[in-house]
Structure 1
Amino acid sequence: MLLWINGPFGGGKTQTAHEIRRRLAGSVVCDPEHAGFGLRRMLPPELRGDFQDLASWRAGVVEVLDLALTRHDGVVIVPMTVTDPGYFAETVGQLRELGHDVRHFTLLAERETVLRRLRERGLGHVLRFAAGKDAPLRRESWAVQQLDHCLERLREPEFAEHLWTDHTTVARTADRIAVLAGLTLAPNRDGAVRGRLRRAWTGARHIRFD
């Protein structure tokens, strides 16, 4: 089974994916961003755009995930924003056509909720403390520019199942996905402090400097 977790940039996809992996034995996270940023770095700076526009990225994602699903016994978890219907068909749709059990979920939240998460994710809370709560998001500026488009597109029926996350925790979102996918997660035994530290570490490990 493949769990594809979609949503706006800063919407909690990576945190949710790693929470599921932590509590689901045998599962793995396969992040298509790694391939995308690798392809992007191959290009001269003036040619570096959205790596999803590269047919090689879309085909490569399908090839690698097909291999992982065929050879790996556990659940494969993919945290990846895809808002273009054509690209969605070339990735999620193609994997389904290959016969794989793909469960797709879109994490949604109100605009202000996502903006707050963008400020706080990774080392953002440190910058916020140093520069003030209304300081520019700097490295997150691209995500902010895409936010309204993402929220509008991802509300469409083709990107269901939709899960609203404004008033829930990462652990509860993971629980909800597991129930909908027919999976059983190990109990979440993190306290408030440990959970916050775990999420901060996950966020710091996934900061992008490209």
Structure 2
Amino acid sequence: MLLWINGPFGGGKTQTASEIRRRLPGSVVCDPEHVGFGLHRMLPPALRGDFQDLAAWRQGVYEVLDVTLRTHEGVVIAPMTLVEPAYFDQIVGRLRDEAGHEVHHFALLAERETVLRRLTERGLGRGLKRESFAVQKLDHCLERLRAPLFGEHIHTDRVGVPQVADLIAEAAGLRLAPNTDGPLRHRLRTAWTGIRHIRFD
């Protein structure tokens, strides 16, 4: 089974994927961004645009997820913003229809102000300046993701990461281990997940 966790940049995808992996034995996170980072590193900086526009990224993500789903016994979790319908069909649609995998797709949505606040909090003291790409794409992402193609929609403005993970698991017919984190441990775990996913290139 594949859980594709979609949403705008700053929408909580990575945190939610990490929470599900922590509470679902045998599950793994396969982050499609890593394919894009590798392609970017191959290109001269002046040629680096949105790596999703590269056919190699879309084919690479499809192939890696297909291989993982065929050979890994546990649930596979892919946290990735994907809002272009054609690209969605080339990856998620093919995994469902061509490869025959069980795919559950969820779009984490929130009000614009909520996402901007989250982006500010993860900006490492530089506020939204560090997250300029995410801010630039925010309205486009929110508009696209509200479409029925990108269901199932989960609104996260007033729901914490553990609760979002519970909602996804319930919708997919999965049973997570109980969340035993207190408020302090949850904040520390969230901060550590954010630190591990900081990019410097």
TMscore range, shorter length: over 0.9
Partner residue, 2:154: 163
Partner residue, 2:38: 38
2:18 aligns to what SS in structure 1?
A: helix
Q: State the TM-score, normalizing by the size of structure 2.
A: 0.98
Deviation of 1:41 after TM superposition, in Å, equals 1.3
- State the alpha-carbon separation in 1 of the partners of residues 127 and 9 from structure 2: 16
Partner residue, 2:52: 52
| Structure 2 residue corresponding to 1:172, chosen from 163, 167, 176 | 163
- Structure 1 spans left out of the alignment, 5+ residues: 128-134
Partner residue, 1:3: 3
1:145 aligns with 2:146: no
- State the alpha-carbon separation in 2 of the partners of residues 160 and 116 from structure 1: 24
Percent identical among aligned pairs is 72
CA spacing shift, 1:136–1:24, aligned 2, 3 Å: closer
Q: State the TM-score, normalizing by the size of structure 1.
A: 0.93
Deviation of 1:208 after TM superposition, in Å, equals 1.8
C-alpha distance after superposition, 1:16-63 (max 9, x if no partner): 000000000000000010010110111111110000000001001010
Partner residue, 1:114: 115
- Structure 2 spans left out of the alignment, 5+ residues: none
Residue 145 of structure 2 aligns with an amino acid whose one-letter code is L
1:83 aligns with 2:83: yes
- State the alpha-carbon separation in 1 of the partners of residues 200 and 146 from structure 2: 29
> What RMSD, in angstroms, separates the aligned Cα atoms of the two structures?
0.9
Say whether the 8 Å CA contact 1:108–1:164 is kept in structure 2: yes
Number of residue pairs matched by the alignment: 200
Deviation of 1:138 after TM superposition, in Å, equals 2.2
Say whether the 8 Å CA contact 2:9–2:81 is kept in structure 1: yes
Say whether the 8 Å CA contact 1:118–1:137 is kept in structure 2: yes
- State the alpha-carbon separation in 2 of the partners of residues 31 and 104 from structure 1: 15
Say whether the 8 Å CA contact 1:7–1:107 is kept in structure 2: yes
Say whether the 8 Å CA contact 2:19–2:161 is kept in structure 1: yes
Partner residue, 1:182: 173
Partner residue, 1:65: 65
Deviation of 1:136 after TM superposition, in Å, equals 4.4
Partner residue, 1:130: none
- State the alpha-carbon separation in 2 of the partners of residues 103 and 44 from structure 1: 36
C-alpha distance after superposition, 1:103-140 (max 9, x if no partner): 0000000001001111112xx3x51xxxxxxx642221
| Structure 1 residue corresponding to 2:184, chosen from 193, 202, 208 | 193
After the TM superposition, which parts of structure 1 deviate over 6 Å for at least 4 consecutive aligned residues?
none
C-alpha distance after superposition, 1:87-110 (max 9, x if no partner): 000000010121000000000000
